[in-house]
Chain A
Amino acid sequence: MGKDFKEALEGLESGPAASDAGAEAPRGPEADPSSHPSVAALREAFGDAIVHHEVMAGDEHVVFVRPERCKEILRWLHDTPEHRYDLLLDVTAVDFGGGRPLQLVYQLWSVPHKRGLRVKAELPLDALEAESVVDVWPGANWLEREAYDMFGIVFRGHPDLRRILMPENYAEGYPLRKDFPLRGRFSRAEQTRRALMLDMESDYAPHELAVARRVAEREAMASNTQTGGA
């Protein structure tokens, strides 16, 4: 007990230890593609862009796709009438630690066909980038911002990719990565110092600051003409 307890305490400072570091994230056995109509159709339409298909927890179909074709596949799943995954439930990521690639997870549901599908893309840690799907599902906006905020995945083409839960000037990294310690990277004193030095402007989005600036300019101009006339 003493040893476990000590290790757990160290985890607060260093981040949790990866259970057993390997090159790949764990994978289940390849499932029968005919067990899910969308997977069979995906295999036909996209060939080897579909890397792997597995069934988790009894009835959850998971499809691994190549990250560079991920958006194309998601758009196809959304647009094709026989599949029509019109409800994007979730966009998130899983970090297994130990230098293994991050899994980007899309949880889809089709309201008309009453079917679900989980699409995963594995992103190597040195290339955490994906295409944004906001133009396919507008509801992806905040979910992608959260994945960016928590894991540092950059979504290309996102209309407003800013941090969402953490403040915009947060400098300690990406909290849900496995190498991020529970207490943060800075000491409590440094965190307090930074909080006290916060610039009020960092509480506003860029487009809001632009409006405020326009108002300020107009007011300055108005007061100039007033004093000039007097």
Chain B
Amino acid sequence: MATKTVEYLVRRNPEMGMDGRPVPAPVFPVGVEPELQGEHMLINIGPQHPATHGVLRLVVELDGETVVRCTPHIGYLHSSFEKLGEYRGWNQIVPLTDRMDYLAPLIYNCAYAMAVEKLMGIEVTERCKVLRVILMELDRIFGHLLWLGTTAMDIGATTVFLYAFQERERIYKLHENYTGARITTSATRIGGMMADLPVGWTDQLRDFVDTLPRTLDEIETLLTNNQIWISRLQNVGAIGPEEAVAYGLTGPNLRASGVAYDVRKDRPYYDYETYDFDVPVGEHGDCYDRYLVRMEEIRQSLRIIRQALERLPDGPINVDDPRVVLPPKTDAMNDMESMIHHFKLVMEGIKAPVGESWFSVEAAKGELGMYVVSDGGTKPVRWRVRGPSFVNISALPKLVEGHLLTDVITINASLDIVLGEIDR
């Protein structure tokens, strides 16, 4: 199975990794109290525990320190976004989307808008396309940096957390300068964006793109050859390619197992096929490969942003389609037709034709599918989000089986989950 068209294989360090082979995880003799022998114990981790990255609750059944069975309990953050969406107009759903993955909100904004645009048959302008590519890649870096910082901190490397968050702060600033918000960006509208870029934003982004690799190098110096990092991550939570696909893993977690499946390459949208970038692929499917794949993805995203900045064309940001886009404010204030048009769009809302559409994008955490169903009205009949974290975390019981309790924290961190999207 799993056609292994490896485009870019992440390399382990030959000195430390012994010819690219994983270093076997050290086995510590576990002293078991004689009266506890064979008796299983339940341990409840979370929902209020920093290492669960949100309000995830894990109930772990242990034999000594070895995990026999792990059951995640979710739903503590359930906000019924999908139900709320059925009561809202097409544009009013955008603010719900960035509250799902608040670690990479712009990807969710864009994916939702793209699904509705596909349903309505709208082709956005060239400038909007390139801008959305820039924003999505920027937020991929945003999400991966958070993963890097928090995972390192779970393992005990506090310095990396500070380095990663310093860089994230610069992306927060970029978010804020463009959308006015640091996390809840709500930047897209059906048919375009909420506004064009402010003056000087691209220069700020260029500065970020040019200086981030230096920090990445520093972080890699701290981690990649670090003996503690290697022994905590290599051979921990490994999953083979066939199984990874069967469990529905997507994104870096799947690619670390050696399956070169990336929505940007396999079902290109927004001209991704014309950008020059590689899809990093791992070999062993363990936590260490997930780390290597994500580090390389950050660099590849920088490559895409550089190319996109080169080709960012001038021109309108919104489509010229009166069904979805408001008239310019000066027109709405000065001529009658524009005012009526404005009034109708605001009071009635956008109408989408009968039908449905599914749009998949490669989000920071895996394949994000937005599924919208319309009956011709101003609100969706159904808005469904196929969240990558939801499916990825459902493989956790399989991944932690037979590992030590400490590895549960490592493996959970390595999956890169966000509870806002798991619980929705």
For residue A214, which residues in chain B have a CB less than 8 angstroms away from its CB?
39-40
Q: Choose among B61, B119, B369 the residue that contacts A57 (Cβ–Cβ < 8 A).
A: B119
With contacts A56-B357, A112-B2 known, is A89 near B75, CB below 8 A?
no
A223 to chain B, nearest CB (A): 13
**Bound complex: CA A94 to CA B384 (Å):** 9
User: Is A6 an interface residue when CB atoms closer than 8 A count as contact?
Assistant: no
User: Is B314 an interface residue when CB atoms closer than 8 A count as contact?
Assistant: no
A139 & B394 in contact (Cβ 8 Å cutoff) = yes
B424 to chain A, nearest CB (A): 7
User: Is A84 an interface residue when CB atoms closer than 8 A count as contact?
Assistant: yes
User: Is A111 an interface residue when CB atoms closer than 8 A count as contact?
Assistant: yes
For residue A142, which residues in chain B have a CB less than 8 angstroms away from its CB?
390-391, 394
For residue A141, which residues in chain B have a CB less than 8 angstroms away from its CB?
394
A26 & B59 in contact (Cβ 8 Å cutoff) = no
A211 & B42 in contact (Cβ 8 Å cutoff) = yes
With contacts A16-B86, A56-B355 known, is A89 near B360, CB below 8 A?
yes
With contacts A112-B3, A138-B247, A143-B391 known, is A215 near B73, CB below 8 A?
no
Residues in A120-150 with C-beta less than 8 Å from chain B: 137-143, 146, 150
User: Is B323 an interface residue when CB atoms closer than 8 A count as contact?
Assistant: no
User: Is B375 an interface residue when CB atoms closer than 8 A count as contact?
Assistant: yes
* 18 A-B interface contacts by CB (under 8 A): A20-B375, A57-B118, A57-B121, A62-B356, A87-B261, A88-B248, A92-B371, A94-B356, A94-B373, A111-B3, A112-B3, A118-B358, A138-B246, A139-B391, A165-B424, A182-B83, A208-B71, A211-B61
Known: A164-B75, A204-B59. 15 other contacts (CB 8 A): A8-B87, A19-B375, A56-B356, A57-B118, A57-B355, A88-B248, A89-B248, A89-B386, A111-B261, A116-B267, A150-B82, A165-B74, A165-B78, A165-B423, A222-B35
Interface residues of A (CB under 8 A from B): 1, 8, 11-12, 16, 19-20, 26, 28, 56-58, 60, 62, 84, 86-90, 92, 94-97, 105, 107, 111-112, 114, 116, 118, 137-143, 146, 150, 164-167, 175-176, 180, 182, 203-205, 207-208, 211-212, 214-215, 218, 222
